[in-house]
Amino acid sequence: MEPSKPPKIVCFMCNWAFCEEEISVPYNVNIIRVMCVGRMDPALVIDTFINGADGVLLVGCRPPDCHFVNGNLHAERAVKMLKKLLALTGLEPERLKLMLISPLKNKGFSHYAKEFSVEIWKLRNPTLGREGLLANLKAAKEAASAFRLRVLLGREKELTEFMNAYGEKIPEEQFDALLDDIVRAEFIRYKIHYLTKIKPRSVKELAEILGIKPSAVLRHITNMRRKGMMALDHVEGYTPLYKALEVQ
Amino acid sequence: MTEKLSQEVRKLPPCRAACPAHVNVQAYVALIQKGKFKEAVEVIRKDLPFPAICGRVCFSPCEDACARVNLDQAVAVRSLKRLVADIEHEQGRVIAKPVPKKYSEKVAIIGAGPAGLAAAYELSKLGYPVTVFERMAEPGGMMRYCIPDFRLEKFVVANEIAYIKDLGVEIKTGVEFGKDITLESLKKDGYKAVFLAIGTQLGMKLNVPGEDLDGVINAVDFLRAIALGEKIAVGERVAVIGGGNTAIDAARMAKKLGAREVMILYRRSRGEMPALPHEVELAEKDGIKFYFLVAPKQIIGENGRVKAVECLRMRLGEPDENGRRRPIPIAFSEHQYEVDTVIPALGQMVETSVLPPELLSKEKRGPSLQVDPLTLETNIPGVFAGGDVATGPASIIEAVGAGRRAAVSIHRYLRGWDLRKDRDGERIEETTWVKDWRLLEKKERRYDAPIEKPHLSFEEAREYLERLKRQARFEAFRCLGCGPCAECLASMELCEGDKAVVDEGKCVGCNICAVVCPVEAIKKNEKGVAHVNEDLCKGCGLCAARCPERAISMKKLSDEQVLTMVLTALKR
């Protein structure tokens, strides 16, 4: 992310969204064709950021043109979640963009690619250092690969449009708040996991780094110990130090 | 060819299921999307020997079945087919490689119409020596002699037939069945199987007084005479009687030959007309008048020539067995149209006089030939019959479907296999997942310029072509791809033919994959783990992206591969 160079952009494009001939793009935009934009695993998108992309553009078909009924809407949900996650890492959520374009009526891909490049160019001053950002992104990637978040994402349509196992229908706003909570919790847990993997740390130390209350950290640690993600390493004086365990 | 299809029950996309010849519509539309026009024609040719002919005159049941109708309008399949076929023609006629003769049993086909030629095409592809006997001077049947030049150019027919000849089919013209050859003489000449596809050559009679007056000419005879190059004098005022495509063709032809006023008299109303709506529109543009709910009572003559046609008004009664409302004459409603030519176009019937009497059906009503509807066997072993002769006048594509069925039957008969086991036809099932679309809001989207300009000659169309190629690809992009991915066969290497794979050890049975799958290809099996039905999987990867345990991966384009692509892209 050097300011002098144009931003590196990776574009995951639906196989069906554009004719191949129509795609002529600025050289800083790399296109990777996938079967459906809904196919993009959230963890894979974060991985792209980890590997040095300045912006990720997801291109799919505008409803109702999706070849896979509602793959584009699945992508929309994933992007909503990813934006929340990116905001926590300190990376601007605007770096991720989902565009749903009609294969029949569009201005040509280069138009959209240039537009996005300019948007990213304007953003180009990450507040965190490269190291801190990378650590955050790695935690975010773990969170995005985690069971809890993925179940919630996969079940969103079911929960908000039909009902859960108890026959309750969850309103969209409530679901959104729930998603917010879980994204935050999962991100913090994996951040703790990442930090304690480097060396054993105390609750107080972790709370300082993360900028949250020690009680909240302790709650997460208890939870993670139960899941077998963490263990007590040793006690220094009266302070217990925790270390991360490899998750199977 | 059809063997594969007939041996397994496959869920077909609606377009392919609706097509009587089961042409792989989804596959060639997918190829057009990718700009692979040549490969698209090859895919069509697998099932249908007449891409250019059907591209012009098919009544396109595929478009009626298209799932896109639920969103806006059907994909213009027929126009696409015409376009790819025309592009191929533009680069010169394609010469097929002759197929080596694998079998020694000779097959005789009577009638070089669409049914006979399709059967010859399939049988020669299987490796049989096939001879087609045709009464007229040129092969092609009704495609050559009954469809006028402005709808279907003669050289298009000639080209497609030349392709069939290239495969090694022998076509003997000027040989009349019943006169020059008979079933016995064919048997004596060593033909082991015979396919009768003589079609329906006789125009139906009006059965009203005055029918033998000068100036009454049957539509089939009229069109055939023109195709043969005979000079036919049409009068100033022409009445065509009937509402089918032949009636429209005859009327338009009469107008083009210089008739001042052409009218079509039809005994039902516009909605019941069997003619294609778009042909009716063209006829109206040509200035042809339509009179509905009138039926001729008699033709009035003067000095042996037609002077007028007297008609009765009709009203529509109860629907008959075909679901069309029966016209009932209104008493004392006689009125006259002053005309000098009357062209009855009431349909055609089988020339029963040429057929051996043992083949004829005893029943008075219904088809005149006794044929098994599935295998197309007649009551003489080794003799098969299909196409219009068996089913009554129908369409080219239905005749092709019959020809293909006959080819399978003849192949099985000659090999001594069971004719009925695992046949297609009744086993064709549509994919059902398209129901999901119906939940979506119907949106109006007009597809701007139609690809096809029926008035263009081939030369004009060629100039038009370049512009059309781009348009065609856009049109093809509208295809929803209802069938599974493997439907595309030839396009396998293009779209990867990806499939999902489940790591059963990781699967926790949450069933999210089944929820997100657009085609119900992945489901929990009895062991409680997800199982992929590869026949249905379209390789979209939605399940892989949602699996909470990341237990599902894609065979060809896995997440790891995407990541490698990302890394190479970012190193650039």
CA A5 to chain CA centroid, Å, is 25
Decide if A50 touches B, using CB distance below 8 A.
no
Decide if A39 touches B, using CB distance below 8 A.
yes
Answer yes or no: do A100 and A185 share one domain. no
Decide if B492 touches A, using CB distance below 8 A.
no
Answer yes or no: do A113 and A151 share one domain. no
Establish if A102 belongs to a structural domain: yes
Contacts of A164 (CB under 8 A, 6+ apart): A158, A170
Q: How far is it, in rounded angstroms, from Cα B125 to Cα A38?
A: 43
Looking at beta carbons, which residues of chain B come within 8 Å of A16? 33, 477
pLDDT band at B360 (very low <50, low <70, confident <90, very high): confident
Mean pLDDT lowest among A26-40, A124-138, B48-62: A124-138
Residue B489 pLDDT exceeds 70: no
Can you tell me whether residue B106 is helix, strand or coil? strand
pLDDT band at A219 (very low <50, low <70, confident <90, very high): very high
Q: Dig out the tokens for B139 from the structure.
A: 């092969």
Q: Which of residues 117-156 of A touch B (CB under 8 A)?
A: 145, 147-148, 150-151, 153-155
- Determine which helix (DSSP H) or strand (DSSP E) holds A136, and give its type and residue range: helix A130-145
**B392, exposed or middle or buried, with CB in 10 Å at 0-12, 13-18, 19+?**
middle
Integer CA distances (angstroms), B284 to B248, B291, B456, in order: 10, 12, 18
Tally of domains within chain A: 2
Q: What is the CATH number of the domain that holds A228?
A: 1.10.10.10
pLDDT digits (tens, 9 = 90+) for B196-238: 998 888 888 888 898 888 889 999 999 999 998 888 888 899 9
Answer yes or no: do A36 and A86 share one domain. yes
User: What pLDDT is stored for residue B50 in this prediction?
Assistant: 93
User: What pLDDT is stored for residue B435 in this prediction?
Assistant: 39
Answer yes or no: do A155 and A109 share one domain. no
Establish if A76 belongs to a structural domain: yes
Closest CA to B117 of B396, B457, B514, B482: B396
Distance from CA of B436 to the nearest CA of A (A): 7
Top mean pLDDT of A28-37, B211-220, B356-365, B493-502 is at: B211-220
Q: How far is it, in rounded angstroms, from Cα B182 to Cα B488?
A: 44
Angle between helices B396-415 and B114-126 (to 10 degrees): 40
User: What pLDDT is stored for residue A27 in this prediction?
Assistant: 78
- Of A122, A137, A170, the residue at which a domain comes to its end is A122
Top mean pLDDT of A27-31, A207-211, B520-524 is at: A207-211
Q: Which of residues 199-228 of A touch B (CB under 8 A)?
A: none
Decide if A106 touches B, using CB distance below 8 A.
no
Residue A126 pLDDT exceeds 70: no
Residue B280 pLDDT exceeds 60: yes
User: What pLDDT is stored for residue B449 in this prediction?
Assistant: 41
Domains and CATH numbers, chain B: 2-95+426-492 (1.10.1060), 106-201+376-415 (3.50.50.60), 203-349 (3.50.50.60), 498-571 (3.30.70.20)
CA A131 to chain CA centroid, Å, is 18
Percent share of chain A, pLDDT over 90: 27
Establish if A83 belongs to a structural domain: yes
Interface test with B, best of A8, A35, A57, A155 (most B CBs within 10 A): A35
Higher pLDDT, B183 or B363: B183
User: What pLDDT is stored for residue B160 in this prediction?
Assistant: 92
Q: Dig out the tokens for B220 from the structure.
A: 């089939």
Residue B524 pLDDT exceeds 80: yes
Residue A52 pLDDT exceeds 80: yes
Mean pLDDT lowest among B54-58, B160-164, B369-373, B405-409: B369-373
Integer CA distances (angstroms), B299 to A132, B203, B312, B333, in order: 97, 17, 12, 16
Answer yes or no: do A232 and A178 share one domain. yes
Q: What is the CATH number of the domain that holds A32?
A: 3.40.50
Closest in B441, B480, B547 to A67, CB measured: B480
Q: How far is it, in rounded angstroms, from Cα B272 to Cα B278?
A: 14
pLDDT band at A19 (very low <50, low <70, confident <90, very high): low
Answer yes or no: do A217 and A184 share one domain. yes
pLDDT digits (tens, 9 = 90+) for A97-122: 998 887 656 667 788 888 888 888 88
Q: Confirm if B232 and B226 have CB atoms less than 8 A apart.
A: yes
Integer CA distances (angstroms), B134 to B131, B144, B291, B409, in order: 10, 12, 38, 22
Give the side-chain half-sphere CA count within 13 A for B400: 23
ipTM of the complex: 0.85
Looking at beta carbons, which residues of chain A come within 8 Å of B551? none
Average pLDDT score over residue span B179-191 = 91
Establish if A127 belongs to a structural domain: no
- Of A88, A122, A156, the residue at which a domain comes to its end is A122
Answer yes or no: do A94 and A171 share one domain. no
User: What pLDDT is stored for residue B447 in this prediction?
Assistant: 41
Q: Which residues of B114-133 are buried (b: 16+ CB within 10 A; e: fewer)?
A: bbbbbbbbbbbbbebbbbbb
Q: Which of residues 432-471 of B touch A (CB under 8 A)?
A: 433, 436-437, 440-441, 443, 445
Pairwise CB contact (< 8 Å): A30 & B495: no
Decide if A79 touches B, using CB distance below 8 A.
no
Higher pLDDT, A64 or A214: A214
- Determine which helix (DSSP H) or strand (DSSP E) holds A86, and give its type and residue range: helix A71-89
pLDDT band at B490 (very low <50, low <70, confident <90, very high): very low
Decide if B69 touches A, using CB distance below 8 A.
no
User: What pLDDT is stored for residue B2 in this prediction?
Assistant: 37
Answer yes or no: do A156 and A236 share one domain. yes
Q: Which of residues 470-489 of B touch A (CB under 8 A)?
A: 473-474, 477-478, 480-481
Looking at beta carbons, which residues of chain B come within 8 Å of A35? 495-496, 498, 538-541, 557
Q: How many beta carbons lie within 10 A of that of residue B442, not counting itself?
A: 12
Distance from CA of B466 to the nearest CA of A (A): 15
Mean pLDDT lowest among A23-32, A69-78, B177-186, B333-342: A23-32
The average confidence (pLDDT) of chain A is 84
Average pLDDT score over residue span B292-302 = 92
The parent domain of residue A54 ranges over 9-122
Decide if A173 touches B, using CB distance below 8 A.
no
Looking at beta carbons, which residues of chain B come within 8 Å of A53? 566, 570
Q: Confirm if B29 and B479 have CB atoms less than 8 A apart.
A: yes
Q: Confirm if B308 and B338 have CB atoms less than 8 A apart.
A: yes
User: What pLDDT is stored for residue B399 in this prediction?
Assistant: 93
Higher pLDDT, B131 or B427: B131
Q: How far is it, in rounded angstroms, from Cα B125 to Cα B181?
A: 25
DSSP states along B292-318: ESEEEEEEEEETTEEEEEEEEEEEEEE
User: What pLDDT is stored for residue A20 in this prediction?
Assistant: 59
Establish if A71 belongs to a structural domain: yes
Answer yes or no: do A118 and A155 share one domain. no
Pairwise CB contact (< 8 Å): A38 & B562: no
Distance from CA of A65 to the nearest CA of B (A): 8
pLDDT digits (tens, 9 = 90+) for B92-148: 788 888 889 999 999 999 999 999 999 999 999 999 999 999 999 999 989 999 899
Answer yes or no: do A105 and A182 share one domain. no
Establish if A70 belongs to a structural domain: yes
Higher pLDDT, B102 or B73: B102
Q: How far is it, in rounded angstroms, from Cα B230 to Cα A143?
A: 82
User: What pLDDT is stored for residue B459 in this prediction?
Assistant: 66
- B389 phi, psi to nearest 5 deg: -60, -30
Can you tell me whether residue B149 is helix, strand or coil? coil
Q: Which of residues 543-562 of B touch A (CB under 8 A)?
A: 544-550, 554, 557, 559, 562
Answer yes or no: do A14 and A118 share one domain. yes
Residue carrying structure tokens 């599935």 = B374
Is the previous residue joined to B20 through a cis bond, with omega within 30 degrees of 0?
A: no
Interface test with B, best of A150, A164, A248 (most B CBs within 10 A): A150
Average pLDDT score over residue span A191-208 = 91
Q: Confirm if B532 and B502 have CB atoms less than 8 A apart.
A: yes
Closest in B71, B510, B566 to A48, CB measured: B566
Task: Give the pairing of strands B294-302 and B289-292.
Answer: unpaired
Closest in B496, B516, B518 to A154, CB measured: B516
Residue A175 pLDDT exceeds 70: yes
pLDDT band at A57 (very low <50, low <70, confident <90, very high): very high
Looking at beta carbons, which residues of chain B come within 8 Å of A51? 563, 566-567, 570
pLDDT digits (tens, 9 = 90+) for B385-419: 988 888 878 889 999 999 998 999 999 999 998 88
Decide if B33 touches A, using CB distance below 8 A.
yes
User: What pLDDT is stored for residue B432 in this prediction?
Assistant: 46
Query: ∠ CA(B29), CA(B33), CA(B36), 5° rounding?
Result: 90
Pairwise CB contact (< 8 Å): A51 & B540: no
Looking at beta carbons, which residues of chain B come within 8 Å of A12? 562
Q: Confirm if A31 and A55 have CB atoms less than 8 A apart.
A: no
User: What pLDDT is stored for residue B96 in this prediction?
Assistant: 86
Higher pLDDT, B175 or B373: B175
The average confidence (pLDDT) of chain B is 82
Establish if A134 belongs to a structural domain: no
Q: Confirm if A52 and A10 have CB atoms less than 8 A apart.
A: no
DSSP states along B504-558: TTT-----HHHHH-TTS-EEE-TTSSEEE-TTT-----HHHHH-TT--EEESSS-
Answer yes or no: do A113 and A157 share one domain. no
Distance from CA of A195 to the nearest CA of B (A): 24
Establish if A164 belongs to a structural domain: yes
Q: How far is it, in rounded angstroms, from Cα B107 to Cα B384?
A: 11
User: What pLDDT is stored for residue B107 in this prediction?
Assistant: 95
Mean pLDDT lowest among B157-171, B195-209, B416-430, B498-512: B416-430
Residue B448 pLDDT exceeds 60: no
Closest CA to B155 of B146, B167, B144: B144
Residue B366 pLDDT exceeds 70: no
User: What pLDDT is stored for residue B4 in this prediction?
Assistant: 38
Strand partners, A241: A202, A234
